[in-house]
Amino acid sequence: MLEVDAIHAAYGQVKVLFGLSITVRPGEIHCLLGRNGAGKTTTVKSIMGLVPLLSGTVTMDGEHLSELEPYEIPGRRVGLIPQGRRLFAELTVEENLEIGLLVRNTGDAAKERVLDMFPRLRERLQQPAATLSGGEQQMLAVARALCIEPKVLLLDEPTEGLQPSMIELIRSALKRLRDEGVAILLVEQRIDAVLSVADRVSFIENGRNVETLPAEEAVRDRGKLAKYLGV
Amino acid sequence: MDFGPHLFLATLEGAITAAVISLTAAGLSIVFGIMRVVNVAHGEFFMLGAVGAWWVTTAVGGHPAFGFAAALIAAPLFVGAIAALADRLVLFRLGYDPERTIVATIGILYVIQQVTLMTFGPDARPVEPPFNKRIPIPWLGIGENGLELTWPWGLATTTYKLAVIVAAAVILFGVWQFLSRTRFGLLMRATQLDREMATAFGIPVRKIYARVFGFGAAIAALGAVLIVPVQQAHYLMGTDPLLLSFIVVIIGGLGSLPGTIVAAVLIGMSDGIISVFFSPTLAKILATLLVAFVLVFRPQGLFGKAQA
Ligand SMILES: Nc1ncnc2c1ncn2[C@@H]1O[C@H](COP(=O)(O)OP(=O)(O)O)[C@@H](O)[C@H]1O
Ligand SMILES: [Mg+2]
């Protein structure tokens, strides 16, 4: 279980998060929804230790992630699929996966599992990541994170700019991981992007988690959608 | 008839300069490529390598080859450790800010130079080469019996000088293999490409930086150990390699290892040839002019990528 408790975070002098709290349970897909600039990416980066906290804590199964060195956090089985994919562009597909495998020395078994999940990557192992199509790059971003064999998976707008077929592929992968007990935090800007997979939804506005509710309720509540997302 | 042999000799001298400069420039280029630190103290790490070689060869008795072999290992390790320490004490504390690290490495330059002056002294000191057989330079000419080898002007090189060229090539090949084939090389390249994502995938960027800085300095020191039997150790000997390394790295493209090597051969050769036929000063003037042209017309260098 990932527990983000009342975190405040800032870039230099600019405060972005104001006491944000969110809990992601094992075996659930928890969606963090909010407008552009609401602080979603900052939340994800704070969990990874990439943005320092001013106050508040991030714990996973009782361990304080926020007291670790940032580079130690992925080793606790936290996998990140960052906004914009952020692959190591000049490294090959295989080398990108290798980076993920080295985090916990998960080795060939993890690699095979991930490549079985995304067979198209297997055909392109020696290709530089930058030469993949957009959809393949997103597969690689997911695959790289799965090489860690994460207990917590953070996805920051993974469907941005993808074709519907690719979005479907990512969704079905997420459902599978959820059923295996992974705690998934899925960040999106639009409700329709998460409709079919979300278990719970949190709305974020100006760096605060304003509301968390079951996905069915969120979908039905036009008023809230209009208020928090502008749809 | 005497232009040919002189050109040959100049080319050979140029190749030696190219060999050493490609090593020092590779170190500078790797440090800049991965850490974005312009290391103005790089020439001093080179100098420390030469001075270290003098200490080691003086301490180890027997055949010069023993001392030299010990220096080849000990001097780069020693210099690498000093550089890693400088990284920890200075660069890390500045958060690797590109501008402040320039000023800081200027400071490191003077500290190293003055400490060397106080301990090693102001004199140039020779290091004996491990082997040093004279090879007269032959010239292929038309003689009474048709084509024949002659030894005009008594020009010669030595086996050691030829070995320097070969050794530099071997070391560069090793560095390239290290970067492209080893696990540590992979982590270095990932850190270079995206420091934040490297952290998000468990790479201890701080440790990588300390080691990269040490590694870059150690390569320069290795180049110095190779050249010191030809050149002598002196506390001011770091200036020229620093200038030439910058020239080479800018022409080759910052952070591009193949570009660095091509530019080192270009600059080293022309430096050798122009120095022999005209003057070393003219060689430096022309190289600096070339840098100016590259900066104006192709600021990313011959092999660099446009925005990198
Ligand atoms: N590196 C940064 N430096 C300064 N401000 C930033 C930085 N990144 C994001 N911000 C600001 O923080 C706020 C939240 O950004 P972000 O977390 O990226 O929002 P979201 O992901 O929800 O679109 C925005 O106002 C943005 O301008
Ligand atoms: Mg964002």
Residue B240 included in any domain = yes
Name the residue at shortest CA distance from atom 2 of ligand 1. Answer: A11
Number of structural domains chain B divides into? 1
Q: Residue B199 and residue A102: Cβ atoms within 8 Å?
A: no
A79 at interface of B, judged by CB pairs closer than 8 A: no
Separation between Cα atoms, residue B262 and residue B257, nearest integer Å: 9
Amino acid sitting at position A179: D
Across chain A, which has 231 residues, the per-10-residue mean pLDDT values are 96 95 97 94 97 96 96 98 96 97 95 95 97 95 97 95 89 94 94 84 92 86 78 66
Structural contact between residues B55 and B127, judged by C-beta atoms closer than 8 angstroms? no
User: What CATH number did the domain enclosing B233 receive?
Assistant: 1.10.3470
Q: Which CATH code of 3.40.50.920, 2.60.40.10, 3.30.565.10, 3.40.50.300 fits the domain covering A2-77+150-229?
A: 3.40.50.300
Q: Residue A75 and residue B202: Cβ atoms within 8 Å?
A: yes
Based on its alpha-carbon atoms, the radius of gyration of chain B, rounded to whole angstroms, reads 20
Ligand having the closest approach to the CA of A38: 1
> In this complex, which of A73, A75, A91 lies closest to B190 when CB atoms are compared?
A91
Q: Which atom of ligand 1 is nearest to the CA of A35?
A: 22
Q: Which atom of ligand 1 is nearest to the CA of A207?
A: 14
CA B97 to chain CA mean position, Å? 25
State residue A193's pLDDT score: 73
Q: Residue A99 and residue B186: Cβ atoms within 8 Å?
A: yes
Q: pLDDT by residue for chain B (308 residues), tens digit each?
A: 467 777 888 888 899 999 999 999 999 999 998 999 999 999 999 999 999 999 999 999 889 999 999 999 999 999 999 999 999 999 999 999 999 999 999 999 999 999 999 999 999 999 999 998 888 877 777 777 777 777 766 777 889 999 999 999 999 999 999 999 999 999 999 999 999 999 999 999 999 999 999 999 999 999 999 999 999 999 999 999 999 999 999 898 877 788 889 999 999 999 888 888 888 889 888 988 998 998 888 888 888 765 44
Residue B303 included in any domain = no
B148 at interface of A, judged by CB pairs closer than 8 A: no
Encode burial over A106-141: b for 16+ CB neighbours within 10 A, e otherwise.
beeebbeebbebbeebeebeeebbeebeebbbbbbb
Residue A72: list chain B partners with CB under 8 A.
202
Beta bridge partners of A203: A33, A211
List the single residue in B with minimal CA-CA distance to A94.
B186
Contacts of residue A106, Cβ cutoff 8 Å, sequence gap at least 6: A100, A147, A148, A149
Based on its alpha-carbon atoms, the radius of gyration of chain A, rounded to whole angstroms, reads 17
Separation between Cα atoms, residue A188 and residue B130, nearest integer Å: 67
Name the residue at shortest CA distance from atom 6 of ligand 1. Answer: A11
Range of the domain at B19: 3-297
State residue B308's pLDDT score: 41
State residue B1's pLDDT score: 46
User: Could you tell me the distance, in angstroms and rounded to a whole number, from the CA of residue A130 to the centre of ligand 1?
Assistant: 25
Q: Which atom of ligand 1 is nearest to the CA of A44?
A: 17
Separation between Cα atoms, residue B197 and residue A173, nearest integer Å: 22
- Sign, CA dihedral B187-B189-B193-B195, equals positive
Residue B305 included in any domain = no
Closest CA of chain A from B251, distance in Å:
22
- Sign, CA dihedral A186-A190-A195-A200, equals positive
Ligand having the closest approach to the CA of A32: 1
User: Could you tell me the distance, in angstroms and rounded to a whole number, from the CA of residue A17 to the centre of ligand 1?
Assistant: 10
Where in chain A are the domains? 2-77+150-229, 87-149
State residue B152's pLDDT score: 67
Q: What is the ipTM of this complex?
A: 0.95
Structural contact between residues B17 and B36, judged by C-beta atoms closer than 8 angstroms? no
Residue B307 included in any domain = no
Residue B30 included in any domain = yes
Residue B302 included in any domain = no
Separation between Cα atoms, residue B3 and residue B155, nearest integer Å: 12
